[in-house]
Amino acid sequence: MKNGNPAVVGLAGFGLTTLLLQFHNLGWIGLGPVLSMGVIFGGLAQFIAGFQEQKMGNSFGFSAFVSYGAFWMGLCIIWLCNHYGVYESSHTDVGFYLLAWMLYTAIMFVGSLRIHTAMAVTFGTLLLGFLFLVLEHFVSPAFKTIAAIDLIICALSAWYMMAAAIINELADRVVLPLGKKIVK
């Protein structure tokens, strides 16, 4: 019996939730859809996909999906705590939260260079997105729009990898190429 690829769910959840947050950051939607998907799809589903990656022996996928699933659940908890006035986080507090995630993402970006080009593009744009969000919190609000545009590209890159995993498997050949390793 062949196992399904848990990355397709993890990438779908990451991509969708990241995309919705950028729509919010650009002022196109409210926080409700982001919070809902942040808990369920970006959070819980990604978290579960990560534990499935562990069963498949994929340490990179295990770390990425469990960690970013926890990122989304944590961010949603911060928003809920702020909304209800419990353990409120300041703008600076959230900036340091994002800084910590930027540092983790830098480690994952280095690892992604040894997987394929599409993974490196996704983690490279994610790393830049966190950098721009950190700058938005500590330097200038102008970085928020730059971060949103970059992270839309990141979300679509994640979806491209998801689509490649599904379509290439169904076609039994490479329809959507992922590129070569950047570092061997």
Q: What is the pLDDT of residue 3?
A: 87
Instruction: For Cα atoms 73, 153, 81, give the angle at the middle one, nearest 5 degrees.
Output: 20
Q: What is the pLDDT of residue 183?
A: 96
Tens digit of pLDDT for each residue in 64-115?
A: 999 999 999 999 999 999 999 999 999 999 999 999 999 999 999 999 999 9
- Residue 2: is its pLDDT beyond 90? no
Sign of CA dihedral 142, 27, 80, 17: negative
Q: What is the pLDDT of residue 138?
A: 98
Token representation of residue 110:
């280095």
Half-sphere exposure of 54 (CA within 13 A, CB side): 12
Q: What is the pLDDT of residue 42?
A: 96
Q: Give the predicted TM-score (pTM) of the model.
A: 0.96
Whole-number average pLDDT of the chain: 97
State percent of the chain over pLDDT 90.
98
Q: What is the pLDDT of residue 34?
A: 97
- Distance (Å, whole) CA 151 – CA 172: 31
State percent of the chain over pLDDT 70.
100
- Distance (Å, whole) CA 68 – CA 123: 12
Task: Identify whether the C-beta of residue 164 lies closer than 8 Å to the C-beta of residue 178.
Answer: yes
- Residue 11: is its pLDDT beyond 90? yes
The phi, psi pair for 126, rounded to 5°, reads: -65, -45
- Distance (Å, whole) CA 52 – CA 102: 25
Tens digit of pLDDT for each residue in 126-162?
A: 999 999 999 999 999 999 999 999 999 999 999 999 9
